[in-house]
């Protein structure tokens, strides 16, 4: 059986991860996430014209008299066009639909495929709710890990496993968010409630993955005659194939949704894929190396 | 250490046979529950092909409950302005709003509305109206929005000069008057009817109050004798007659300059309800049915492809055990789909009992039933499974994604077990022991790993909004059923096939050599 020297190069892995985290934080603080409709409030309208694909200018011209602000028009192909604007009242909605239906291309008929409007107050509320939920999930996970690992105390006490799992989590979430900050800046990818859901799922998944690697270490420690670092490396190798394969099956199923699932879930699935990948990476290359460092620091004291 | 069967079963074989029977029952119930329509079609075809010799009993076909984003529909979010309502009466007023909107929407014939009253974190009251199908949505919004707010007002200044009118004659409305609200509102209205004035034949609207309203109205008229009382609808004074005397009995007449049509409309609007609280539309989400159908088609395709990709990977990498895990995954998919629907009670009972019996049987056999963490988790998981089996889970687009994701995650437990098993085989253990050890040792990891995901799901489910809730529920069902089925079903099936063939052909297990 191959024996990958993961722990030996622990400095390298942590430098890679550390710089990814720093880059992500930079991206987040410079560009920030592009908040979508759910968090800013506003309206989204998708219409399909019977007569053909309308252009951005055509749509903008037809709406010049309606009086809506921050209008963004995005043709989606298939004779459809998505409009975003700030106003959320039913009157404006009807006025916009009315103006669009007077366009030349809509003569043969126009379907209102989708309409969403979210008041500003709801947006602000969703934002604060999202933070609370994240906090709650983290709390519950810390509690569970310290409970599940309470029998392991040598040579690293159980709460430190929990702390490391949380650091790994932080790593996954920050990098996922950072990637979305970059996507938001360059490709106008927006962040909505599904993104928060994806992050929460990643939280669960990442801890799951970390726990499985730690579990093996927990099992091997009492009977191992090797050094702590070697035992951790051995445990990593034992769970290595499993980690790769599990991540692969999850990514395969998500890949199917990414390709066939349609545009409305694409960003959601992308967030999940990035998060799952980070989660798998961090449980192998962040959590266990950190565990070895924790043990070293402890001995030095 | 060989497994010694104790108690219930005389031999290991009998125990295995019993477990297989349970798996069969579980699989059949899951199939009937999830794909009843396909089963019935099959039963018809079979009857035809065999000239009615083989007639399988029919099953009840249960449809999925689809969310508005999949079936097409509208969700409207209203905020109720409760500033003028005392804290204690707020929730009952909101119930009133709920009923009124329900009657309003029903009168347009849009479809059965689903109406919920929520309280946001910041303490605002929200009314969420869900309408399946999007025909006449704008009409429905108009109707809900127009629902009259009926108020009775008295003069704020006691020195107001009485206008010359009597209770039942036309109203001369003094717009300069300053009015203040009385305790009486449309909430206390029992019914409104169209009447014609016996003297001049003009249409009038007769109001009848409920018991509380009658007393209020009597009090108001008593303290306002020779003063006007205004009847205000949606902020417009429609009539402000001067009270001649105290009116007991809870009846009043509005006589404005109505046409018959106007009076009729007013009666209809008043009868379907006057809102006790003003509401404003703050959010709207409409999905056209064709877009919903497209989402269903897309998700279906994605689900099939996802399943096939995962299955292919498992079989190519793990060979024989991989094949077993795919069978298990198939049962898993059916079981989750079955639980999404409302199963008949007998199905629910058989479903849960067979799962529970399987779980007890296998866990006793493997002796991996350890400690409070496992017991606690299984208790919670079974309670929730029972709950979801008897109710339907509304399937949303996010929910479907959660489900497809869970297909990828479901094999995790299998992968853990198979890797462990291979390890034991490489360490030179005989096949049957390697299988048992694989399961036993993988269990704590599976338990701890899944528990964190399940805990995250619970938080998601309590998040409130429909989308997040649906995703949390589907992911929870996926993770918990996959954990149970992979442990229980895979392990039993694996042990059934332990025999001379596998022992002689280690290639099928993905190892080079097997010790005996």
Taking residues A136-155, what's their average pLDDT?
A: 75
pLDDT at B510 over 80: no
Find out whether B381 and B428 touch, Cβ atoms under 8 Å.
no
DSSP reduced 3-state for B395: strand
pTM comes to: 0.79
Residue A147 CA, chain-centre distance (Å), reads 27
B454 → chain A, closest CA residue: A204
Asked if B42 is an interface residue toward chain A (Cβ–Cβ < 8 A), one would say no
Question: Which DSSP symbol is given to B379?
Answer: H
pLDDT at A265 over 50: yes
Q: Do A212 and B426 touch (CB under 8 A)?
A: no
- pLDDT-derived band at A279 (thresholds 50, 70, 90) equals very high
Taking residues A157-186, what's their average pLDDT?
A: 89
Worst-scoring range by mean pLDDT, B10-24, B147-161, B309-323, B333-347? B147-161
Q: Do B124 and A121 touch (CB under 8 A)?
A: yes
Taking residues B482-495, what's their average pLDDT?
A: 81
Q: What ipTM goes with this model? A: 0.87
Asked if B465 is an interface residue toward chain A (Cβ–Cβ < 8 A), one would say yes
- pLDDT-derived band at B140 (thresholds 50, 70, 90) equals confident
Asked if A9 is an interface residue toward chain B (Cβ–Cβ < 8 A), one would say no
Other C-beta atoms lying within 10 Å of the C-beta of residue B158 = 9
Q: Do B467 and A112 touch (CB under 8 A)?
A: no
Taking residues B353-372, what's their average pLDDT?
A: 74
pLDDT at B3 over 60: no
Find out whether A103 and A54 touch, Cβ atoms under 8 Å.
yes
Q: Output the pLDDT for position A287.
A: 92
User: In terms of Cα–Cα distance, which of B215, B284, B283 is closest to B250?
Assistant: B215
Find out whether A295 and A180 touch, Cβ atoms under 8 Å.
no
Nearest-CA distance A154 → chain B (Å): 19
Rounded CA gap, B471 and B459, in Å? 11
Count of pairs with CB atoms under 8 A, one residue in A, one in B:
217
User: Which chain A residues are within 8 Å of B401, Cβ to Cβ?
Assistant: 257, 261, 265, 268-269, 272
Rounded CA gap, A198 and A130, in Å? 12
Q: Do A114 and B287 touch (CB under 8 A)?
A: yes
A 145-184 residues inside an 8 A Cβ radius of B:
145, 147-148
Rounded CA gap, B82 and B94, in Å? 9
Rounded CA gap, A227 and A230, in Å? 5
Q: Output the pLDDT for position A254.
A: 93
Find out whether B471 and B69 touch, Cβ atoms under 8 Å.
no
Disruptive mutation site among A201, A206, A217, A269 for chain B (greatest number of B CBs within 10 Å):
A201
Question: Do you know the residue count of chain A?
Answer: 301
User: Which chain B residues are within 8 Å of A238, Cβ to Cβ?
Assistant: 423
- pLDDT-derived band at B164 (thresholds 50, 70, 90) equals very low
Helices (H), strands (E): how many in chain B? 15, 11
End-to-end CA distance of chain A: 36
More confident residue, A183 or B131: A183
For chain B, give the mean pLDDT. 78
Rounded CA gap, A89 and B463, in Å? 26
A 261-290 residues inside an 8 A Cβ radius of B:
261-262, 264-265, 268-269, 272
User: In terms of Cα–Cα distance, which of A220, A240, A227 is closest to A285?
Assistant: A240
Rounded CA gap, B317 and B325, in Å? 12
Rounded CA gap, B441 and B443, in Å? 5
Say which CATH class A42-118 falls into: alpha beta
Rounded CA gap, B126 and B120, in Å? 7
Rounded CA gap, B267 and B474, in Å? 46
Asked if B138 is an interface residue toward chain A (Cβ–Cβ < 8 A), one would say yes
- pLDDT-derived band at A184 (thresholds 50, 70, 90) equals very high
Element (H, E) at A98: helix A90-101
Most confident of A19-28, A47-56, B264-273, B438-447: A19-28
Q: Do A112 and B291 touch (CB under 8 A)?
A: no
B 8-37 residues inside an 8 A Cβ radius of A:
none
pLDDT (tens digit per residue) in A193-250: 888 888 888 888 888 888 888 888 888 888 888 888 999 999 899 888 888 998 999 9
pLDDT (tens digit per residue) in B415-466: 988 888 888 888 888 888 888 888 888 887 788 778 878 888 888 887 666 6
User: Which chain A residues are within 8 Å of B285, Cβ to Cβ?
Assistant: 115-117
DSSP reduced 3-state for B80: strand
A95 → chain B, closest CA residue: B138
Other C-beta atoms lying within 10 Å of the C-beta of residue B501 = 10
Q: Output the pLDDT for position B136.
A: 66
For A97, residues 6+ apart whose C-beta sits below 8 A from its C-beta are A45, A47, A112
For B473, residues 6+ apart whose C-beta sits below 8 A from its C-beta are B388, B393, B399, B457, B461
Nearest-CA distance A254 → chain B (Å): 6
Please state, in angstroms and as integers, the Cα–Cα distance from residue B437 to each residue in A14, A92, B72, B366, B368, following that order.
35, 67, 50, 9, 10
A144 → chain B, closest CA residue: B452
Worst-scoring range by mean pLDDT, A66-75, B41-50, B99-108, B195-204? B99-108
3-state secondary structure B141-180: HHHHHHCCCEEEEEECCCCCCCCCCCCCCCCCCCCCCCEE
Q: Output the pLDDT for position B139.
A: 73
The full set of domains in chain B, from first to last, is 12-63+288-509 (1.20.1640.10), 73-286 (3.30.1360.200)
Element (H, E) at B358: helix B345-366
pLDDT (tens digit per residue) in B177-187: 577 777 787 77
More confident residue, A150 or B175: A150
Q: Do B282 and A94 touch (CB under 8 A)?
A: no
Asked if A250 is an interface residue toward chain B (Cβ–Cβ < 8 A), one would say yes
pLDDT at B7 over 60: no
Say which CATH class A10-36+121-300 falls into: mainly alpha
Find out whether B148 and B234 touch, Cβ atoms under 8 Å.
yes
* Planar angle of CA A235, A239, A241, nearest 5 degrees: 140
> Across the strands, what pairs with B179?
B155
pLDDT at A182 over 90: yes
Taking residues B346-371, what's their average pLDDT?
A: 77
Find out whether B275 and B104 touch, Cβ atoms under 8 Å.
no
Angle, in degrees to the nearest 10, between helices B397-426 and B289-340? 40
Asked if B55 is an interface residue toward chain A (Cβ–Cβ < 8 A), one would say no
Taking residues B309-321, what's their average pLDDT?
A: 92
| Backbone phi and psi for residue B156, each to the nearest 5 degrees, phi listed first | -80, -35
Q: Helix, strand, coil: what percent of chain A each, to 5?
A: 70, 10, 20
pLDDT at B172 over 60: no
Q: Do B284 and A90 touch (CB under 8 A)?
A: yes
Give B171-238 as a DSSP string.
----TT--EEEEEEEGGGEEEEEEEE-TTT--EEEEEEE-HHHHHHHHHHHHHTBTSBEEEEETTEEE
Q: Do A117 and B471 touch (CB under 8 A)?
A: no
Residue ranges of the domains in chain A? 10-36+121-300, 42-118
Nearest-CA distance B366 → chain A (Å): 18
- pLDDT-derived band at B159 (thresholds 50, 70, 90) equals very low
pLDDT (tens digit per residue) in B221-252: 888 888 888 877 666 677 777 787 788 878 88
pLDDT at B171 over 50: no
User: Which chain A residues are within 8 Å of B452, Cβ to Cβ?
Assistant: 141, 144-145, 204, 207-208, 211
User: Which chain A residues are within 8 Å of B78, Cβ to Cβ?
Assistant: none
Nearest-CA distance A18 → chain B (Å): 25
Nearest-CA distance B26 → chain A (Å): 25
Q: Do B471 and A242 touch (CB under 8 A)?
A: no
Question: Which DSSP symbol is given to B393?
Answer: P
Q: Do A90 and B121 touch (CB under 8 A)?
A: no
- Strand ranges for B444-498 from DSSP E: none
Q: Output the pLDDT for position A259.
A: 93
């Amino acid at each position: 059986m191959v024996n990958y020297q993961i722990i030996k190069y622990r400095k390298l892995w942590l430098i890679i991860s550390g710089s990814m985290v720093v880059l992500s934080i930079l991206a987040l603080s410079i560009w920030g996430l592009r908040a979508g409709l759910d968090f800013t409030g506003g309206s989204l309208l998708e219409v399909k014209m019977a007569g053909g694909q309308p252009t951005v200018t055509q749509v903008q011209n037809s709406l010049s008299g309606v009086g809506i602000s921050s209008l963004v028009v995005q043709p989606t192909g298939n004779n459809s066009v998505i409009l975003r604007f700030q106003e959320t009242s039913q009157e404006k909605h009807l006025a916009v639909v009315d103006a669009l239906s007077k366009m030349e291309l809509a003569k043969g008929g126009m379907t209102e495929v989708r309409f969403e409007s979210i008041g500003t107050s709801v947006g602000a509320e969703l934002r604060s709710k999202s933070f609370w939920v994240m906090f709650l999930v983290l709390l519950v996970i810390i509690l569970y890990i310290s409970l599940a690992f309470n029998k392991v105390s040598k040579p690293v006490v159980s709460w430190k496993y929990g702390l490391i799992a949380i650091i790994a989590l932080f790593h996954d979430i920050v990098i996922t968010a950072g990637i979305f900050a970059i996507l938001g800046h360059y490709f106008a990818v927006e962040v909505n409630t599904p993104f928060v859901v994806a992050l929460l799922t990643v939280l669960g998944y990442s801890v799951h993955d970390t726990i499985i690697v730690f579990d093996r270490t927990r099992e091997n420690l009492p009977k191992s005659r090797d050094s702590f670092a070697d035992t951790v490396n051995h445990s990593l190798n034992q769970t290595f194939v499993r980690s790769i394969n599990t991540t692969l099956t999850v990514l395969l199923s998500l890949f199917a949704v990414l390709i066939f699932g349609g545009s409305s879930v694409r960003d959601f699935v992308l967030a999940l894929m990035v998060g799952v990948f980070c989660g798998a990476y961090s449980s192998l290359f962040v959590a266990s190396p950190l565990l070895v460092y924790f043990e070293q620091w402890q001995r030095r004291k | 250490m060989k497994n010694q069967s104790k108690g219930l079963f005389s031999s290991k074989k009998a125990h295995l046979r019993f477990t297989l029977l349970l798996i069969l029952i579980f699989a059949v119930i899951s199939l009937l529950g999830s794909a009843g329509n396909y089963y019935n079609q099959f039963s018809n075809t079979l009857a035809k092909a065999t000239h009615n010799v083989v007639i399988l009993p029919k099953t009840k076909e249960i449809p999925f409950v689809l969310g508005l984003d999949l079936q097409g529909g509208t969700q409207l979010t209203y905020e109720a302005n409760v500033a003028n309502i005392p804290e204690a009466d707020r929730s009952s007023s909101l119930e009133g709003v709920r009923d009124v909107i329900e009657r309003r929407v029903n009168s347009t014939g849009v479809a059965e509305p689903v109406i919920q009253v929520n309280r946001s974190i910041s303490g605002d009251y929200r009314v969420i109206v869900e309408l399946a199908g999007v025909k006449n949505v704008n009409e429905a919004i108009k109707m809900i929005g127009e629902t009259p707010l009926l108020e009775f007002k008295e003069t704020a200044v006691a020195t107001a000069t009485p206008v010359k009118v009597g209770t039942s004659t036309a109203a001369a409305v003094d717009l300069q008057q300053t009015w203040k609200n009385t305790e009486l509102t449309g909430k206390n209205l029992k019914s409104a009817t169209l009447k014609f004035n016996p003297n001049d034949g003009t249409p009038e609207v007769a109001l009848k109050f409920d018991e509380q309203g009658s007393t209020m109205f009597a009090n108001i008229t008593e303290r306002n004798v020779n003063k006007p009382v205004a009847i205000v609808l949606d902020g417009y004074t429609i009539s402000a007659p001067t009270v001649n005397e105290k009116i007991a009995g809870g009846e009043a007449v509005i006589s404005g300059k109505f046409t018959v049509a106007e009076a009729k409309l007013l009666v209809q609007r008043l009868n379907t309800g006057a809102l006790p609280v003003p509401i404003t539309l703050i959010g709207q989400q409409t999905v056209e049915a064709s877009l919903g159908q497209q989402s269903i088609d897309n998700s279906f395709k994605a689900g099939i492809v996802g399943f096939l990709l995962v299955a292919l990977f498992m079989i190519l990498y793990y060979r024989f055990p991989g094949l077993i895990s795919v069978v298990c995954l198939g049962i898993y998919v059916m079981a989750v789909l079955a639980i999404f629907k409302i199963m008949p009670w007998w199905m629910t009972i058989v479903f849960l009992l067979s799962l529970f019996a399987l779980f007890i049987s296998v866990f006793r056999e493997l002796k991996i039933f350890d400690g409070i963490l496992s017991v606690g988790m299984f208790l919670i998981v079974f309670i929730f499974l029972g709950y979801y089996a008897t109710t339907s889970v509304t399937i949303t687009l996010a929910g479907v994604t959660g489900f497809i994701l869970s297909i990828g995650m479901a094999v995790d437990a299998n992968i853990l077990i198979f890797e462990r098993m291979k390890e034991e085989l490489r360490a030179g253990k005989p096949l049957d022991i390697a299988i048992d050890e694989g399961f036993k040792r993988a269990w704590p990891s599976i338990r701890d790993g899944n528990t964190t995901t399940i805990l995250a799901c619970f938080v998601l489910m309590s998040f409130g909004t429909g989308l997040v809730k649906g995703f949390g529920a589907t992911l929870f069902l996926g993770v918990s059923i996959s954990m149970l089925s992979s442990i229980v079903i895979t392990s039993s099936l694996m042990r059934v096939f332990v025999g001379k063939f596998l022992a002689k052909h280690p290639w099928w297990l993905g190892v080079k050599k097997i010790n005996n």
